[in-house]
Chain A
Amino acid sequence: MTRQERSAWLFAAPVLAVIALVFVLPTLLALGLSVTDYSIYALADWSNLRFVGFGNFTDLLATPLFWRALGNTAVFAALGVPMAIGTSLFTALLLNDATVRWKPLWRVALFAPYVTGIVATAVVWRFLLNTRFGLLNWLLAQIEVAPVDWLGDPRWSIPAILLFVTWKVFGYNMIVFTAALATVPQDLMEAARLDGAGAWTRFRHVTLPAIGPTLLLATVLSVAGFLQLFAEPYVMTLGGPSQSTVTILYFMFDEGFKWWNLGQASTVAFVLLLLILSLTLIQTRIGRRYEWL
C-alpha cells in the first residue's frame, strides 16, 4: 500500500464504517427480516422466530389497510408533485424575470419555511386550518364559501396536508430552478423574441429544453419524496380521519413500532423501495426519450 493509499483509507474508513453499521447492515437485515414472522414474541426471545418466505408479502396483499395506504400515497404523489413542482417553477420564473427587484430578499423569505421543523410548523398549520377559528376558512367566508372541515373530513384531509407540504418544501426546488434558469441562453431568447415568438413559445422552446434535465431530476426526487410521506400526516392527522391519510410509511411505522410486527413492516419497506426504484427508472426512461437526460 502506498503512503497515499494509507492516508486515503485513514480519511475514508471512519465514515464508511459508520455507513456500514447504521445503513448497509440494517438494510440487509431488513431483507432478512422480511421473510420471517419477527414480532413482539421474537423480540422477547429469538427462538420464536420462524421463516415464512413470501408469507408476509401474501399477507400484505390481503390486508385492506395496506391497499388503502397504497391508494392514499398514490393520491398524495399524483396531486402533490405537480402542486409542489408547479409552485417552485412559478416562483423561480418570477424571480428570474429581469424586472423583479429585491431578488435576494424574496428568495430568503420564500425559502424560510423549508428550514423550519415539521412539528412546529404543523402546529401552526393545524390552527390555520381550524374549522371554526382558522384563517383559511375565514378567508373563504369572505368569498361566501361555507367552512370546510379540513382535517376532519376524509375528502379534504389529503388536500389540506398537501397545502402544508407544498408551503414547506417549494422553496427548495425554487432555488434549484433559479440556478437552472440562469443557464438559459440569453442570445437564443433574444433571437426568439426578435422572431416574434410569444412568451409561451419562448418558454416551451427555449427555457424548457434548457432546464429540462433539472426539472426531470426534481420531479424524480419529488415523486420519491412524496412516496415517503410520513411525518406530515403523523403530526397533522395521525392518519385520520377514517384512515384517509395513512400512507405506506405510516402503515409501516404502525406495523413496526406500534404492533412490533417487524417482519411484516420490513416487507412493507421493501415494497416501498421497489416502488421508488421502478418509478425512478420509468421516469428516467421517459426523460431520455425526450433527450432531457
Chain B
Amino acid sequence: MAVTPLRLRAIVLNALIAAVTFVTLVPFVWMVTVSFMPRYESSRYPPPFWPSRWTLENYHELLTRRQFDGAWFDYRILPAMGNSLLVAAISTLLGLVLTVPAGYAFAKLRFRGRERLLKLLIASLVVPGQVAMLPLFLIFRELGLVDSYAGVILPSLAGIFAVLFVRQATLGIPDEMIDAARLDGAGEVRIFVSIVLPLLMPITVTLALFMFLGSWNDFLWPLIVLSDQHHYTLPVAVAAISREHAADGELMMAAAVVTTLPVLMLFLALQRYYIGGLLGGSIKG
C-alpha cells in the first residue's frame, strides 16, 4: 500500500497526540507503580518504573493505626478522607440549593435591581478571592467558625460563577413554557420545581461535579481555617505528612493515589457532563 501524503499526515498526527497523551499520563502511572514498590526501592538509579515485587505495605502503613513505642499512631488518612467527603458533599448540596434557583431567578423572573445586581456579580469575578481571605478569617474568628466544618464550607457557597452559569443555561428555556404554566395557575415555586428544574438537570449535574471536585481539591482555605488535625481535610492532611516524609517516596505516592483516585474515578464516570459543560454543547462525540 502506497503511503499518500494524507495518510502520512494521519500517521504523524495520531502518533503525536498519542505521544503527548503518554507524557501527560506518565506521572499518574508512575505514581501508581511506585506506590506498590517495597520501601526505598524507588530511591535508586536508574529510576525503576515497575515494582520488583508488588506490595501493599505502603498502603498498610498509611491507612492503619498501629502501636509505636507504646503509643497509638496513625496518619489519619481515612478520617481525613471522611472529613473531605463530608465537606465536599455538604458544599455541593447546599451550593446547588443556593445557586440553581438564584440562577433561574436572574434569567427568568423580573425583579427590581436585577440588572444592576447582575452587573455587580459579573464585575466581582475579577476580584481575587484571596483579598477577602484575611478579613474573612477575622470574621469567622468572631463568629466562632474557625476550626469547624462550617468554616470550611461557608466560603465555598458564595457561588457567583455558579449563579451566572445556571443563568446562562436557563436563558435557553422558552418563556412561553413558563408563561403557559403561570396561566394555568401554577405557583412560582411549583413552576421552578416541576418545569424548570427537570430541564436544568444536565447542567445541574455538571455544576455538582464542578462543586464537588472544587471542594475536594481545595487546599488554601482549609489550611488557613483548620488547626485541629482531627478536622483536617485530605489535601491538608497529605500536605502535613509530606512535610515530614518527603523522602519516603513510596509512602507519599500511596498518599497521592488515595487522594487522586476518587476524583479521577468520579471524573471518568461523569466526564461526559464535565467536558460537555465546558464545551457548552458545541461538540458532540
Contacts and interface: CB of A to CB of B under 8 A. Distances in A.
Chain B associates with chain A: yes
Interface stretch (A58-66, A105-113, A185-193): A105-113
A120 B256 contact: yes
Contacts of B224: 257
A143 interface: no
Given A8-B111, A108-B268, A277-B126, A121 B27 contact: yes
A113 B24 contact: yes
Contact of B130 (A8, A107, A252): A252
A12 B282 contact: no
Contacts of A179: 278-280, 282-283
B1 interface: no
Interface in B215-265: 216-217, 219-220, 224, 234-236, 238-239, 242, 246, 249, 252-253, 255-256, 259-260, 263-264
B45 A22 contact: no
B127 A128 contact: no
A178 B139 contact: no
B14 A123 contact: no
A265 B134 contact: yes
Contacts of B6: 99
Interface stretch (A71-79, A131-139, A203-211): A131-139
Nearest to A95: B17
A5 B275 contact: no
B149 interface: no
Interface string A73-102: 000000000000000000100110101110
A269 B102 contact: no
Nearest to A176: B278
Contact of B138 (A113, A120, A262, A273): A262
B110 interface: yes
Interface residues of A, number: 90
A175 B206 CA distance: 15
A126 B256 CA distance: 12
Contact of B46 (A3, A4, A138, A228): A138
A225 to B, nearest CB: 10
A134 B27 CA distance: 11
A134 B158 CA distance: 41
B219 A119 contact: yes
Contacts of B267: 111-112, 115
B168 interface: no
Contacts of A276: 126, 128
A198 interface: no
B102 to A, nearest CB: 4
A100 B13 contact: yes
Contacts of A2: 110
B105 interface: yes
A196 interface: no
A29 B140 CA distance: 13
Contacts of B199: none
B124 interface: yes
A112 B264 contact: yes
A116 B106 CA distance: 32
Category for how many chain B residues contact A: 35 or more
B126 A110 contact: no
B169 to A, nearest CB: 15
Contact of A5 (B111, B154, B263): B111
B62 interface: no
Contact of A15 (B27, B44, B163): B163
A90 B81 CA distance: 37
B239 A273 contact: no
A97 B20 CA distance: 15
B102 A97 contact: no
- Residue of A97, A117, A178 with most chain B CB atoms under a 10 A cut-off: A117
Contacts of A103: 285
B154 A22 contact: yes
Nearest to B137: A257
Contact of A123 (B26, B217, B256): B256
Interface string A166-196: 0100001001101100110000000000000
B234 to A, nearest CB: 8
B194 interface: no
Given A94-B20, A134-B47, A15 B275 contact: no
- Residue of B154, B224, B238 with most chain A CB atoms under a 10 A cut-off: B238
13 contacts: A7-B187, A14-B102, A18-B158, A23-B132, A30-B131, A95-B17, A113-B28, A117-B259, A123-B255, A125-B27, A182-B282, A266-B131, A273-B131
Given A117-B234, A127-B42, 13 more contacts: A3-B188, A4-B188, A7-B105, A9-B105, A12-B106, A12-B111, A94-B20, A100-B10, A100-B17, A124-B31, A133-B249, A175-B275, A228-B130
